[in-house]
Amino acid sequence: GENVEQHPSTLSVQEGDSAVIKCTYSDSASNYFPWYKQELGKGPQLIIDIRSNVGEKKDQRIAVTLNKTAKHFSLHITETQPEDSAVYFCAAFTGGFKTIFGAGTRLFVKA
């Protein structure tokens, strides 16, 4: 069945450093890839997304890249700040109405 693998499960960086989270998906028909940030006790919040006809998208300190051939996509956060600390989920929209989530990456940004 459809699956999204996400690595690493935990990531600790120093404030100001970059953080990279990587995901792979199994369904080649997936065409939309959102990233969500989940803070403690809250629901996932959409922070950036990318469609399959685009290779890269940037929004201030956040960027996503997509390699359709390899079925990889990544989240890049530059100049990390303590408030970036959260759990980040990648996801793949498989067509129809279903979105499959990765297992999540817990990001710690140390001041």
Partner 1 sequence: EPEVTQTPSHQVTQMGQEVILRCVPISNHLYFYWYRQILGQKVEFLVSFYNNEISEKSEIFDDQFSVERPDGSNFTLKIRSTKLEDSAMYFCASGTGQETQYFGPGTRLLVL
Interface residue with partner 1, options 44, 50, 63, 75 (CB under 8 A): 44
101 belongs to the binding site for partner 1 (CB under 8 A):
yes
Nearest Cα residue to 51 out of 82, 70, 73 = 73
Q: Minimal distance in Å, beta carbon 56 to partner 1?
A: 19
Please list the residues that pair with 19 across neighbouring strands.
77
In the complex, least distance from residue 14 CB atom to partner 1, rounded to whole angstroms: 25
State the number of binding residues for partner 1 (CB under 8 A): 22
DSSP labels for 34-99? EEEEE-TTS--EEEEEEETT-SEEEETTEEEEEETTTTEEEEEE-S--GGG-EEEEEEEE-STT-E
Minimum distance from CB of 1 to partner 1 (Å)?
A: 9
Footprint on this chain of partner 1 (rule: CB under 8 A): 32, 34, 36, 41-46, 49, 89, 91, 93, 96-104
